[in-house]
């Protein structure tokens, strides 16, 4: 069993969170998640009709991609723009 975002699940690839659960886990406002869905930049999501869900494994990967080692670094970038 793996604990991801304070949720215990046997299979994070097939476990989903509601927007409310994710917002609570990330300690962000629900409106921020909505903005990320509209404008990009947030974790990937899936839609089942009008229902939005977040796959735990995808959220965990998104968090890893946005983990910084120090101020000013840019996780996820493959190259730096030359000036």
This prediction has a pTM of 0.72
User: Tens place of pLDDT for every residue, the chain, 83 residues?
Assistant: 555 555 566 777 788 999 999 999 999 999 999 999 999 999 999 999 999 999 999 999 999 888 888 887 766 554 444 44
Q: Tokens 């959220």 belong to which residue?
A: 59
Q: Half-sphere exposure (CA, 13 Å, Cβ side) for 9?
A: 15
DSSP 8-state secondary structure symbol assigned to residue 28 = -
């Amino acid at each position: 069993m793996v604990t991801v975002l304070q949720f215990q699940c046997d299979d994070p690839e097939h476990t989903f969170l509601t927007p409310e659960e994710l917002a609570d886990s990330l300690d962000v406002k629900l409106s921020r998640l909505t903005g990320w869905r509209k404008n990009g930049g947030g974790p990937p999501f899936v839609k089942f009709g009008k229902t939005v869900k977040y796959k735990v494994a995808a959220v965990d990967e998104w968090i890893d991609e946005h983990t910084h080692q120090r101020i000013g670094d840019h996780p996820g970038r493959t190259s730096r723009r030359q000036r």
